[in-house]
Amino acid sequence: MKKLWEKLWQKPGLKLLLGIPLGGFLFLAVGAAGWGAFNASLHYSSTNEFCFGCHIGMDTVVEEYQESIHYKNVHGVVATCADCHVPEPFFEKMEVKITSGIKDIYKKYWVKEINLENFEQEHRLRLAEHVWKDMQEQKSATCQKCHDQSKMDLAAQPGRASRAHDPVKWEENGESCVDCHYGIAHNRPTKF
């Protein structure tokens, strides 16, 4: 025990004096590069180009979206795929990216169950209902990133819309945007 204690308190050699700062610098550099790569991949996987990479040719959602008010409008404001389909809070975002990413990659490259021939009849309704359920559970938080209900001029809206957008009514009935606004960025399922 005495030898160990003496070794701990002896003057460190040159290797140790150089190794600790160099090791710390190397650790910091690798960490910064890793963080940069993580942020770059997070950003890229939230772009329309990334989403289109799988959806073009597999289904018709890209073409529908490109003709929707969320992509083409008089103001030139574009809501991206991630704006609507990926939550904003970090941990929720990571959960969606990891679980959906793994599932989607598996289904596209190994199962190959969805294609242009069977999308409309066999898959659209199930997939749309899944997205609507997610949006209802989060109370359409992704919609409200852009559409702030507190800033809506209810008096300028037609009667039915004005009544439907009343925040008190919304809260009382537990409603969300997709309870009325489904089929806005993508066509409604034909079986709906």
147 is in an annotated binding site: yes
177 is in an annotated binding site: yes
CB-based contacts of 61, cutoff 8 Å, min separation 6: 55, 186
55 is in an annotated binding site: no
84 in a domain, yes or no?
yes
94 is in an annotated binding site: no
14 in a domain, yes or no?
no
185 in a domain, yes or no?
no
81 is in an annotated binding site: yes
7 in a domain, yes or no?
no
Amino acid at 139: K
11 in a domain, yes or no?
no
| Distance of alpha carbon 94 from alpha carbon 1, whole angstroms | 49
Instruction: State the DSSP H helix or E strand holding residue 135, giving kind and residue range, or none if neither.
Output: helix 124-137
Q: Give the number of C-alpha atoms closer than 13 A to the C-alpha of residue 131, restricted to the C-beta side.
A: 23
165 is in an annotated binding site: no
Coil/strand/helix, residue 59 = strand
| Length of the chain in terms of residues written | 192
12 in a domain, yes or no?
no
Q: How many domains does the chain have?
A: 1
Tens digit of each residue's pLDDT, the chain (192 residues): 678 877 777 777 777 777 888 889 999 999 999 999 999 999 999 999 999 988 887 788 999 999 999 999 998 999 999 999 999 899 999 999 999 888 888 887 888 788 888 888 888 898 899 999 999 888 888 998 899 888 889 899 998 888 888 888 888 888 888 888 888 899 888 876
Q: pLDDT, tens digit, for every residue of 98-144?
A: 998 888 888 878 887 888 888 888 888 988 999 999 998 888 889 98
Is the sign of the CA dihedral 132, 136, 138, 141 positive or negative?
Answer: positive
Closest-CA residue to 51 (of 73, 66, 35): 66
Coil/strand/helix, residue 114 = coil
CB-based contacts of 165, cutoff 8 Å, min separation 6: 149, 152, 154, 157
Closest-CA residue to 100 (of 112, 108, 111): 108
126 in a domain, yes or no?
yes
104 is in an annotated binding site: yes
Q: What's the burial of 97, exposed, middle or buried (CB within 10 Å: 0-12/13-18/19+)? A: middle
The domain of 42 spans 19-179
| Distance of alpha carbon 150 from alpha carbon 171, whole angstroms | 13
pTM of the model: 0.77
**61 CB neighbour count, 10 Å cutoff:** 20
13 in a domain, yes or no?
no
The CATH number of residue 70's host domain is: 1.10.3820
58 is in an annotated binding site: yes
